Amino acid sequence: MSYFKAFSLIILAVLLSLNVWTQEKNVLKGIIISQKEEKAIQYANIRIKDSPYGTTSDENGKFEFSFPNQFSKDTLIISCIGYKRLVLPLSTLNLKQLQHFELEDSLILLNEVVAMAYDFIDALKWKTKKDDKSRLYLTFATREIQNAANFISILKETFGKDFKLKSNFIRWKKVKIPEVGDKITFVVAWFRCPYCPDPENITVTIDVMDKKDNSLVENPTYTKKLEKYFQNLLDKTFAQGVDYRQLESRDSITYLKKSTEPYTGQCYGYYENGQKGLRGAYVNGVRDGVWEYWYSNGQKKVEGKYKKGLKDGQWLYWYPSGQLRIKAFYKDNEMDGTNIWYHENGQKKKEAVFRNGVYIEKTEWDEKGNVIEIRNFLK
């Protein structure tokens, strides 16, 4: 009997050890692709930091390897010549699923010029670290990243929200521009400018391709046309003034951040989806002239005029549906004259008379047009 118990314990121990070994074994499967070109990357090196576990991607960018559970909280490193190294914790990965990893190109190196004009688009030859062959890109330098962001906002407004955005580039596919008859794909990338005097200066490149991925910038038929087209969009960026996020208020006066002079010029803002958010102007740090606001669906929200920082004249307010909500009149920032509110179905909701901001009288209606209250505040 004791022999049988001993034998059973040995078998149980073996089974438990096999079970533990099975539990400790993890398998990582994935595919490595180029972030910009969306193509498989061959022979990328995938490994767990400071361990013997890892592998390389095959001709289709795929890989698979196993590792013990003790490394499950360690760091995964993916690298390949010509691409930025990707480093991430293994604990963030769902090992039950096929992983997709995207690698960024290494910073593009300029090979023919050593200086660039600010905010002026030119077709320049570049090369990448992974390829000695040069290629023409529409290129410009700008003084700060916010200018590049403003340019991207104009592109979103022009080409719509069907884009792919990554950390340092944005891509539109199958869009049309007047200068090219067929639909095109273009990629806008940005990175620190290696040939500019200040560390905050940014380089922006634009690559335009036909449906066969041939460069249209390198095609003499389109080079100048594309330069002119995108320069007009860039000029539009600066014609609108500055993004409102570049401004700050101090004692009710608006300044450019880090500036000591009150701001005079245009101001605008955009939603993340590329829709306009606001547009207006400042004079000596206060709002002046027509200001417009929009909902994120593109519908006008508010339109009115400021005079030396105060609301003046007619102001219109809309519901997100586009139905007029309020028609108001202001004098020195106070309601003045007859002002009308509307239900969203278009029926009049309230009509009120003000005099220099003082409530004089009102009439209110329900959504069916029935009078529900008439009141005179002077009686």
Q: Taking Cα atoms as reference points, which of 73, 27, 77 lies closest to residue 48?
A: 77
Instruction: Tell me the per-residue pLDDT of 305-333, one tens digit each, with 9 for 90 and over.
Output: 999 999 999 999 999 999 999 999 999 99
- Domain 109-239 CATH (choose: 3.30.310, 3.30.450, 3.90.550, 3.30.565): 3.30.310
pLDDT of residue 295: 94
pLDDT of residue 31: 95
Tokens of 221: 């038929």
End-to-end CA distance of the chain, in Å? 109
- Range of lowest pLDDT (27-31, 86-90, 143-147): 143-147
Inter-residue contact 351 to 335 (CB < 8 Å): no
Alpha carbon distance 331, 198 (integer Å):
47
Stretch 242-253: mean pLDDT, rounded?
90
Residue that wins the pLDDT comparison between 210 and 167: 210
Share of the chain above pLDDT 90, in %: 53
CA distances from 376 to 352, 354, 358, 373 (A): 10, 11, 12, 10
- Chain-centroid distance of CA 190 in Å reads 13
346 by DSSP, 3-state: which?
coil
Instruction: Tell me the per-residue pLDDT of 272-293, one tens digit each, with 9 for 90 and over.
Output: 777 788 999 999 999 999 999 9
Q: Residue 258: pLDDT above 90?
A: no
pLDDT of residue 270: 83
- Place 110 in a pLDDT band, splitting at 50, 70 and 90: low
- Place 135 in a pLDDT band, splitting at 50, 70 and 90: confident
pLDDT of residue 21: 44
Inter-residue contact 236 to 209 (CB < 8 Å): no
pLDDT of residue 2: 58
Stretch 205-215: mean pLDDT, rounded?
92
pLDDT of residue 264: 92
Alpha carbon distance 352, 366 (integer Å):
15
- Place 254 in a pLDDT band, splitting at 50, 70 and 90: very high
**Topology adopted by domain 19-103:** Immunoglobulin-like (2.60.40)
- Place 109 in a pLDDT band, splitting at 50, 70 and 90: low
Q: Residue 118: pLDDT above 90?
A: no
Tokens of 252: 């009710």
Residue extents of the structural domains in the chain: 19-103, 109-239, 242-376
pLDDT of residue 144: 80
Q: What are the φ/ψ torsions at residue 22 (nearest 5 degrees)? A: -65, -40
Stretch 265-270: mean pLDDT, rounded?
87
Inter-residue contact 137 to 217 (CB < 8 Å): yes
Same fold, 19-103 and 109-239: no
pLDDT of residue 20: 44
Say if residue 310 is exposed, middle or buried (CB neighbours under 10 Å; 0-12, 13-18, 19+). Answer: middle
pLDDT of residue 251: 94
- Average pLDDT in the chain: 86
Alpha carbon distance 74, 70 (integer Å):
8
Stretch 198-210: mean pLDDT, rounded?
89
1 HSE (CA, 13 A, CB side): 0
pLDDT of residue 111: 46
**Topology adopted by domain 242-376:** Outer Surface Protein A; domain 3 (3.90.930)
Instruction: Tell me the per-residue pLDDT of 4-55, one tens digit each, with 9 for 90 and over.
Output: 555 555 555 555 454 544 446 899 999 999 876 778 888 888 999 989 999 9
Residue that wins the pLDDT comparison between 354 and 81: 354
